[in-house]
Structure formats: structure tokens, C-alpha cells
Copies of this chain bind each other. A is one copy, B any other.
């Protein structure tokens, strides 16, 4: 089979103006083109659609993944293509890739095989400049903080408390832990600091939760950069940074329209981490898609314990968006993984392992249906090594839970390979009664009890414990009036627990909260459980060394 970039480079793309007009009825005058195959859709135009009825929103989530991922993005693309193939007006809403993994190890994130969004190289590199804009705004705030300290510190910021980091869209381990402000009087006050990758910035989360320019500026103003010596939070608004930062994000806030290999329109907009942030593409894009299309498929990060939970408890809670159905992506490989098989052996026939691993999928399905109250089907994303017997066994076992499974081959067959999945989703939407959608916990619950609710209802944990410092921070946040915010758990995606080696559906474990962070602008409290890497490193042989530009401008080696 061809590589992703070979498929993408050979694809015949339609002009984005044509996709917009023919598929969505958007006139070219409402587009802000970035080349001939990418465009932002004007925010004013999108606002004019507010009276249109909403399409159906389908959430793409997954069982706990293997390190390679189970194909949520390809399944999102495949399903949107399949729905369009059935003559329906569909759209995909995806996250923008970060350049860190592109030049590091994992590669791009525009789908794969015959289920991609294109132009693939553009999307995986600078795209429309959104991430650069977010980085610029983030770093302007950091510079303004240090500049405020330098020029007299009128707000009385405690230099030790500053925790607004600078960001780059790059894997660069040398920047994780740095000292800035060296070199004497003119260079400011030395302090220990660090850089994150741009997708880990609170500003990325703000960007993806915001509703309008005014809302963007308000949220930015609410960002807390540190405390005064009297322990009063200091905001970006007090530093007079909110206006300039909003200006830097003005154009980026309009959603990016591209197409799949099969010309299905897709918004690719925003991409926050799924651990210290909520891991979903932008509210603006989802909302716009629901006015423009009848069926909108959007993905959340990691497994359903993390991504779907945050989609529900953060994105839906804050925006009023409601999913009509969910698709839980499973693979025979991941089932074997949770059945105790290690990565090198996942391609071997092992129906017993598949059966043992079902408990992981089963708990995710229970959470999606019974906790979030979203009707769902399973998409079994097929790999070449899957045997028919293994696939049949999965279908049978999931059937026993009252859930339909649809094997899908979009990776090799494009949208056609997800046709049965699409029909299954349509059946589900048709047969579902009134919405049973529900948050995992109410706003009013204290932060501590929110964490306990997630631990008990979703993760199978029997206790939640706190580092002393984390607990003190939590108490202070309650006292400072942030207790009504939702929580955002940062933990490993490989397990329901905080221990990546506890596969399957562990119970009786302890959720230990190591650190508590406030994302006041985004509007959530991050509970860091275990190690969270917010600035990845490059491997010994980075992908960058294989990526090349030919004399005729062709890009090769991107994956």
C-alpha cells in the first residue's frame, strides 16, 4: 500500500471554493482563502446562520488505546465520507496537528491511508497559522509578565509564583527546565521557568472553548499568571495584555475548511492536549458545522475515560453542544493489548486475549451509555492482521452488551469501507428516544468531590488521595471562588487508572492527585495524576532527518 503522503500528494483536490459552494452552500465571498485548498470561513457569516436547525452531532471516541492509537481520526474521516457516500450532507470536525510529533516520532495527524484530510502537508505543517498565532499571543503574555517585573512590579507579583510558561510548536527537551533573565540588571529578574509545546498552552484550550471575539478577550483577561505576595491571583487583564493577545488571535478564530480525499468538507481547527486540557477541536468549528451540515462527526482525544469525558463535562457543559450519538473505536489489537499481549505480538492470532481484553471496551461502553447517557455503536477498525474469527468474536461479545459493532475498512477502502458503520450510526440516531445526555457531575459539587465522582463512576478507583501541596492548592481555589469550575484530569491514556501498566478494567485502585493547576481563562481546574509531559523530546533518530524538500518543491518523508 502507498504511504500516507504518497496517497495525499497524488490526490486530486477540488478548489476549496467549490467544496464550500457545492457541499455546504457557502459563497466564496464568505471564505478567507489560504491558497486554493484551505480557507477560513468568515465569523460574521457563521453568526448569520444561527437560526438554522442543528445537524446531528456524532462523537468519535475509543477504548483505551495502544501506543500506536486505534484510528479515531481515520474513522472520523471514514464515517463522514461514508455518510456523504450515502447522499447525506456530512462534515468532519478534527483537531489541528502539532508540528512537534511531525518532526519527532509519531508523525502527522491528518488521518491516514485512504481516510485523510488534505492538503496533508499543509495541514501537518503551518496550515493557516493558527498555532503560530497562539504561540505568539502566549509568548507576548510571558514577555509582558517579565516586563512588568522589570519595570517596578506595580501589581506586586511574587516572582516565585509566576507559572505562565512560554511555548513553541516543537519537541525540544532542552527547554523544559530553564533559567531566564540572566545577564544582569537590563535583562530582568532571573527565575526558573520552562517552555511547553503550544498544544499544552491554556491559550489553546481557551481558543477551542471560545464563542466569539468578545468571549475570547474576556477569557484571556481571566488568565491567572501568578500571585501577588499577598496570594491574590494576578490576571492577564491587569497586565493589559488581553487586547493585544486577542488581536493576535483575531483571524485564527475563524474555522479552517479543508476536504477529505473524497471531497467531504472538514473543519480542522484548534488542538489542545487531552491531558492537561480538554482535547477537542474548537467549539466555533463544531457549532458552525452543525449549521452547515446534517451530520457532523467529531473526535475527542485518547479513550472515552479522558477525551469523551472532557467533551461532555467541559466542551458540552460550557458550550451547550450535545452529542446525538457516539462511536467507540475498538481494534482487535487493542483488545489483545488489554488482554495482556505486548505490542510486538499484537499481530498474532489470539482469540483468548481478545476475550480477556473485552473488559476494557465494556467499561468504556458502560460509561458512554450509562454515565454520559449517549447512545453508541462500536466501530471495529480493521487491521490486515485481524482474523475473521477474531472479528466475529468481537461482534458477538459486544452484541451481548446490547451494542452493535460495525467492522470498518476505511483505511484501505476509503469511505466505502465505513458504509456499514454509517448505516449503523443512522439506525442508532433514528432509533434513539429522547436525549438521556448527562454530565458526570453537577457544577455545584466541590472540586474534591468532582474528582471522586470521576474516580468512582468512570475509572473504577476506590479512593482519591492528594499530595499535600495539591490539596492546599485545591482548598485555596475553592476559597478563591473557582470551585464551580469543572475538573480536567491529566492521567495516562493507557489505563483507567493512573498506572499505564494496569490494562483491562482495573478496580480498587487509588487516584493520586500530584498537582492542581488553574486554567481560569479556559475555565477548568487541572488535576495532574502521574507524570504529564507538556514538552516532548525528540528521539535518537527524529523524523526530521527523513523529511526532505526536492528541487521541484516536492515534500517527501512526512508521515
The residue that A213 contacts in the complex, of B44, B150, B152, B549, with Cβ under 8 A, is B549
With A33-B33, A177-B182 already in contact, the answer to whether A548 and B143 are too (CB < 8 A) is no
With A43-B553, A542-B147, A553-B213 already in contact, the answer to whether A247 and B177 are too (CB < 8 A) is no
Contact, CB under 8 Å: B183 / A176: yes
Q: Of all chain B residues, which has the CB nearest A548? A: B243
Task: Answer whether residue A470 sits at the interface, using C-beta atoms and an 8 A cutoff.
Answer: no
For A385, the chain B residues whose CB sits under 8 A away are none
Task: Answer whether residue A172 sits at the interface, using C-beta atoms and an 8 A cutoff.
Answer: yes
Contact, CB under 8 Å: B33 / A144: no
With A126-B133, A142-B172, A182-B178 already in contact, the answer to whether A557 and B243 are too (CB < 8 A) is yes
Q: Of all chain B residues, which has the CB nearest A177? A: B183
- How many residues on chain A are close to B (CB under 8 Å)? 82
Tell me which of A51-59, A163-171, A421-429, A477-485 binds B. Answer: A163-171
CB of A171 to closest CB in B, whole Å = 7
Q: Which A residues from 504 to 550 make CB contacts under 8 A with B?
A: 537-540, 542-550
Contact, CB under 8 Å: A170 / B143: yes
A540 to B146, CA, bound (A): 11
CB of A41 to closest CB in B, whole Å = 12
A536 to B34, CA, bound (A): 32
The residue that A551 contacts in the complex, of B129, B214, B251, B542, with Cβ under 8 A, is B214
Task: Answer whether residue A174 sits at the interface, using C-beta atoms and an 8 A cutoff.
Answer: yes
Task: Answer whether residue A187 sits at the interface, using C-beta atoms and an 8 A cutoff.
Answer: yes
The residue that A538 contacts in the complex, of B147, B247, B539, with Cβ under 8 A, is B147
With A244-B547, A549-B217 already in contact, the answer to whether A139 and B172 are too (CB < 8 A) is yes
Task: Answer whether residue A35 sits at the interface, using C-beta atoms and an 8 A cutoff.
Answer: yes
Q: Of all chain B residues, which has the CB nearest A189? A: B174
Q: Of all chain B residues, which has the CB nearest A127? A: B129
Task: Answer whether residue A343 sits at the interface, using C-beta atoms and an 8 A cutoff.
Answer: no
Q: Of all chain B residues, which has the CB nearest A145? A: B174
Contact, CB under 8 Å: A545 / B179: no
A388 to B103, CA, bound (A): 62
Contact, CB under 8 Å: A143 / B538: yes
Contact, CB under 8 Å: A544 / B180: no
10 A-B pairs closest in CB distance = A177-B183, A243-B548, A132-B132, A240-B545, A244-B544, A146-B174, A246-B549, A143-B172, A177-B182, A151-B540
29 A-B pairs, CB-CB below 8 angstroms? A33-B35, A103-B140, A121-B247, A143-B174, A144-B538, A144-B544, A146-B172, A146-B173, A147-B537, A151-B539, A166-B168, A166-B175, A173-B186, A176-B187, A177-B181, A178-B179, A179-B179, A179-B182, A213-B549, A213-B553, A240-B545, A243-B546, A243-B548, A244-B543, A246-B549, A247-B547, A247-B548, A250-B549, A250-B553
State the A residues within 8 Å of B (CB): 32-36, 43-44, 99, 103, 121-122, 125-126, 129, 132-133, 135-136, 139-140, 142-144, 146-147, 150-152, 166, 168-183, 186-188, 192, 212-214, 216-217, 240-241, 243-244, 246-248, 250-251, 537-540, 542-553, 555, 557-558
